Amino acid sequence: MPRTQHIDRETAGPKEWLGLVVLAFAVLLIAIDATVLDIALPFLSADLEPTSTQLLWIIDVYSFAVAGLLITMGNLGDRIGRRRLLLIGAAGFGIASLLAACAVSAEMLIAARVLQGISGATLMPATLGLIRTIFKDPRQRVTAIGVWSAMAGGGAAGGPLLGGWLLEHFWWGSVFLINLPLMAALILLGPLVIPESRDPSPGKFDLPSSGLSMLALVPIVYAVKEAAAHGPSLTDLFAALVGVVAGVLFIRRQRILDAPMIDLKLFQRADFSAAVFTNFLSIFALSGVLFFGSQYLQQVLGCSPLEAGLVLLPGTAASAAASLGAAYLVRVWPAGTVLACGLAVSAVGALLLIGLGTDDGLGLFIAGFVLVGIGVGIALTLTSDLVVSAVEPERAGAASAVSETAYELGVALGVAVLGSVVMAIFRRGLDTGGLDPATAAAARETLGGSSAVAADLPMKASAALTDSANAAFVSGMHVASIATAAVLALSAVLVYVRLRTPSGPQAAARAVLNSAK
């Protein structure tokens, strides 16, 4: 039987909005931690001297832990209490951040990143699930989720800016210490301004489903990241197959459980499935643009880390503003129309990036990134609202975990797929004539690798290799931008058709909003 949607017109007061502020800053820090480390890699590499494999684990193990545990933690929060899980996660994240900042070896930093990922997996679905239960009025809830989305999107894009500033003034561990004050504030203020919420009748926690969800997501995320970094291999294929098999078994198990971790019937609803799909695709585009865009700014145009962060700031601000503005737009037009327009705007932004050159293009990059940010901001707000509105407040944590899983997969696949496109064209177009095989292989590894090789060559040969590397990388960016724009444009059409007429909770919420005008 389909769940009955109930629109409660109870409005939130100052205490609830203060609770939102506390939750929003927690989300901001989680999002920043997903990208701030990219800027710090050269500095911690020089200090800790990790191997190439260890360096990959330092970067990736955080997302592996988050992606693998989101569904489990979302269900756990519904059972033991979302606020309780949030406070436990905040304490764990603070301890992990301190360990990471004080790491004296690559192994210690990897262990700290694992603990950060486990703690982060508790925070994201708990915050969104709490917003669903705190803000019962649809108008206030979509505004609150707009704030949440602004922090999530703005934090991911603002990580390089904050990291660049910190690294110009302090050591690399400072990018982790920024978490401590706000996590402490969350632990102190959370019990005072955030109400506890849980599912009063959650059913039995299914441990096999938890294991299968992790076994499905972690190998797939690992496979796409490794394939992006080193090219596809048999190991990657095997990992992907393990993930697919585990995913099939997970789905089959959910169909026979009385209290499944994920209610698969939700995906039969147009609003829910389209929201999850749009969430995934929008962050896919943003992650890809950030991946090759940060390299373009620093290694092709020669910006410092702080300068690169400042260049990204207008897009970050636009994304935050669009996240908040989406709460107004959905009062005027159906969610499908707003989401489709957001995707179309992002597509235009991605298409602008085909005009980037090796010597100029700063203004064009800013314009393109602003448009991508606007579309992503709109999408994050409305998709999150559609997802949590599709279930009763008691199941908000599990529904939020689905949305967050789509987000994490979008991050992983955006970097993997678009990064693979850029690097494949880079390696094909790079002129390594005159270099010995080992040196040529090092130059083809990454754009940074070609720069390191060029630094050791005579002036004329160095200039030639640098010019060739920059041209090849920019050519790869052009192809990736066209592919991104095409996918976003097609998705805009599909989302508009699928959500053209409001239904379910969206229609009910719009009715309440209209009656309140």
What does the pLDDT look like over 176-225, one tens digit per residue? 888 888 888 888 888 888 888 777 776 778 888 888 988 888 888 788 77
Predicted confidence at residue 3, as pLDDT, reads 42
More reliable by pLDDT, 352 or 146? 352
Query: Is residue 505's pLDDT more than 50?
Result: no
Query: Is residue 506's pLDDT more than 70?
Result: no
What tens digit of pLDDT does each residue of 280-326 get?
888 888 878 877 887 888 888 888 777 877 888 888 888 888 888 88
Instruction: Say how many C-beta atoms besides its own lie within 10 A of residue 140's C-beta.
Output: 20
Average pLDDT, the chain: 80
What tens digit of pLDDT does each residue of 416-442 get?
778 778 888 888 888 877 777 888 887
* pTM summary value: 0.76
Query: Is residue 80's pLDDT more than 70?
Result: yes
Q: Which of 486, 493, 483, 444 is nearest to 465 (CA)?
A: 444
8 A C-beta contact, residue 353 and residue 368: yes
Q: Which of 440, 441, 443, 429 is nearest to 476 (CA)?
A: 429
Distance between CA atoms of residues 169 and 152, nearest Å: 25
Distance between CA atoms of residues 107 and 481, nearest Å: 37
Helices (H), 49-202: 52-80, 82-101, 106-134, 138-169, 174-177, 179-193
More reliable by pLDDT, 254 or 201? 254
Question: Longest C-alpha distance within the chain, in Å?
Answer: 74
Confidence of residue 514 (pLDDT cuts 50, 70, 90): very low
8 A C-beta contact, residue 11 and residue 137: yes
Q: Identify the residue whose tokens are 């606007």.
A: 374
Predicted confidence at residue 510, as pLDDT, reads 47
What tens digit of pLDDT does each residue of 452-481 get?
788 888 888 888 888 888 888 889 889 989
Predicted confidence at residue 513, as pLDDT, reads 40
Distance between CA atoms of residues 398 and 194, nearest Å: 19
Distance between CA atoms of residues 484 and 268, nearest Å: 27
Query: Is residue 65's pLDDT more than 80?
Result: yes
Predicted confidence at residue 34, as pLDDT, reads 67
Instruction: Say how many C-beta atoms besides its own lie within 10 A of residue 384's C-beta.
Output: 28
8 A C-beta contact, residue 372 and residue 285: yes
Distance between CA atoms of residues 373 and 384, nearest Å: 16
Query: Is residue 515's pLDDT more than 50?
Result: no
Predicted confidence at residue 1, as pLDDT, reads 39
More reliable by pLDDT, 503 or 426? 426
Predicted confidence at residue 291, as pLDDT, reads 77
More reliable by pLDDT, 502 or 380? 380
Mean pLDDT of the region 216-244: 82
- Phi, psi values for residue 350, rounded to 5°: -65, -40
8 A C-beta contact, residue 36 and residue 176: no
- Residue 136 DSSP symbol: -
Predicted confidence at residue 229, as pLDDT, reads 64
- Residue 501 DSSP symbol: S
Query: Is residue 259's pLDDT more than 90?
Result: no
Confidence of residue 157 (pLDDT cuts 50, 70, 90): low
Confidence of residue 8 (pLDDT cuts 50, 70, 90): very low
Tokens of 284: 């896919």
Cα separations in angstroms, 66 against 59, 183, 205? 13, 18, 20
8 A C-beta contact, residue 339 and residue 379: yes
Predicted confidence at residue 218, as pLDDT, reads 83
Tokens of 65: 């832990």
